[in-house]
Amino acid sequence: MPDIMDYLQFILAPQMLNGLALGISVVLVALGLTIIFGLLDVINMSHGEFYAVGAFTALALSALGLNYWVLLALVPILLLPVGVLVERYLIRRVYDGGDRHVSTLLLTFGLALVIEDILKIIFGPNTHRPATPLPGATEILGVFIPTYRLALIGIGFVVIAAVALVVYRTRLGAMVRAASYDRNMAASLGVRVGWVYSGAYAFGIALAGLAGVLLAPIYSVFPTMGHDFILLAVTVVIVGGMGSIWGAVVAGISLTQVQAISALIISPVWGDAIIFGVMVVVLMFRPQGIFGRIGHA
């Protein structure tokens, strides 16, 4: 019996807590992705690259001496106009030509290649390791967890709650949901649909950038940093239901727990294969995901 308690306390609990930190990180990246899909019907293939842009922007600005906590607020704001420009002048051009899903997916895929190379040109191909803003570890029930990871979990929950509040509880959110549900009806009721679209895309990009700033101290910063993470985030969005915020949160946290526990029981190297397996099965039997989508739920 003490052995089992011991196992739970020193092995399972830290593994799950660590999985939770990863889960929150993935949800932060997935949130923007799911909002953009739910509203614009766009699979934003360049999302991972905007995540990297956020991390690199923070890296560059912190070299100028800006405080980390200032950057946490500043970087997403800097990304807002970028998002508006990308939506207005690139994505909007292919909304109505042929298959919207395919054409926007292809366009944002091309954009991802361009952004990745721009980052390589400016910052070089190598990995940067920003200093942790909260060094040291905190002891919880006899186990050490890095303080920054605990802070990440806290900040992550606040951000998720704030996003949900904006989308579900404000007038702005109501306009967004209305535009998503029926574009023409919303337009006739006086919602400026064009701006709602730009705004939603920019908001999604800003969230990706925020995730980049938050995760840089843990996962390091390099031009292709978006690749690994975006695969997991896309899976989370699909399993949770494209466009559903709660779906992303539930799927993000449960999938990373599956990964963390399977790493203990089977082997960490099979984590990715298991996650993608879940994604394929969900797509086969319930392509709309576990939860509905914004405005449809």
For other proteins, the binding residues in 83-102 under the rule CB under 8 A are 90, 93-94, 97-99, 101-102
Q: Looking at the DSSP assignment, which residues form a beta bridge with residue 140?
A: 143
Q: Which is nearer to other proteins, 272 or 292 (CB)?
A: 272
Q: Which is nearer to other proteins, 175 or 212 (CB)?
A: 212
Q: Which of 130, 164, 173, 272 binds other proteins (CB under 8 A)?
A: 272
Binding mask 24-63 for other proteins (x = CB under 8 A): -------------------x--------------------
Q: Which is nearer to other proteins, 5 or 139 (CB)?
A: 139
Tokens coding 138: 């905190």
Q: Is residue 13 within 8 Å of 144, Cβ to Cβ?
A: no
The minimum distance between CB 293 and other proteins, in angstroms, equals 13
Q: Which positions from 204 through 263 interact with other proteins, judged by CB under 8 A? A: 218-220, 225, 228, 231, 234-235, 238, 259-260, 263
Q: Is residue 58 within 8 Å of 186, Cβ to Cβ?
A: no
Tokens coding 60: 């560059």
Q: Which of 26, 28, 71, 112 binds other proteins (CB under 8 A)?
A: 112
Rg (CA), the chain: 19
Q: Where are the alpha helices (DSSP H) in the chain?
A: 2-7, 13-40, 47-63, 68-89, 100-123, 147-169, 171-181, 183-188, 193-219, 225-240, 245-265, 271-285
Q: Which of 107, 176, 186, 245 binds other proteins (CB under 8 A)?
A: 107
Q: Which is nearer to other proteins, 175 or 236 (CB)?
A: 236
Q: Which positions from 147 through 206 interact with other proteins, judged by CB under 8 A? A: none
Number of Cβ within 10 Å of residue 267's Cβ equals 9
Q: What is the DSSP letter of 128?
A: B
